[in-house]
Amino acid sequence: MALHIGDIAPDFTAETTEGTIRFHDWIGDGWAILFSHPKDFTPVCTTELGYMAKLVPEFEKRHCKVIGLSVDSVEDHRRWLKDIEETQGAAVNYPLIGDTDLSVAKLYDMLPAGAGGTAGQRTAADNFTVRSVFVIGPDKKIKLTLTYPMSTGRNFDEILRVLDSIELTEKFKVATPVNWHEGEDVIIVTSVKDDEARERFPEGWQAPKPYMRIVHQPH
């Protein structure tokens, strides 16, 4: 069954390059990003995991953990880590789940429809997970889902931007406009009436239309 924004992220126990984890316990009281890649020892995935390693300090500033997944074994992951560091100039600094029985991939709908069996029983193409991304909040609910084709590397800077927006809009009654980045103006949500808005934003707002009240980003 497909997962949607607002659903509780399914819990699971899995082996990773940093030992056995229970997912919800591993997340703790912060945020998490779970992302899958199609296959170890492939070029696009190598670039993705290396770039994500460079961004991990930025996610940590936002109290967000990162974890990767494919249906390859933990042993294959560990061997591949050397290639990533050598070619991308960054050592992977987050755990990778070895999902050889496809249990987590199926739980999160990361495989083609009708996928069955284990990694060893299916063709190489069938075993490929799509490039899925899930942002999960401290309440263990899914806040964002993204799915990319296998041939297209992801823009992890965009995922960082969206995390900034989600964390901000969960704390304040605002929304972020198109192409918004941290520090830029935001929009008061329409469910907040003007009287409440005056209390929350005493410095006032700009309103090119009554429903479009623009304010400086709150902190």
Q: Which residues are catalytically annotated?
A: 45
Per-position DSSP letters for 141-164, written without gaps between them: BEEEEEEE-TTS---HHHHHHHHH
Angle, vertex CA 12, rays to CA 119 and CA 48, nearest 5: 60
101: nearest Cα among 55, 69, 130: 69
68: nearest Cα among 102, 93, 87: 93
Which tokens belong to 169?
């809009």
Q: In whole angstroms, what is the distance from residue 126 CA to residue 47 CA?
A: 22
Q: Report which residue type is found at 153.
A: G
* 53 close to 91: Cβ distance less than 8 angstroms: yes
105: nearest Cα among 76, 75, 68: 68
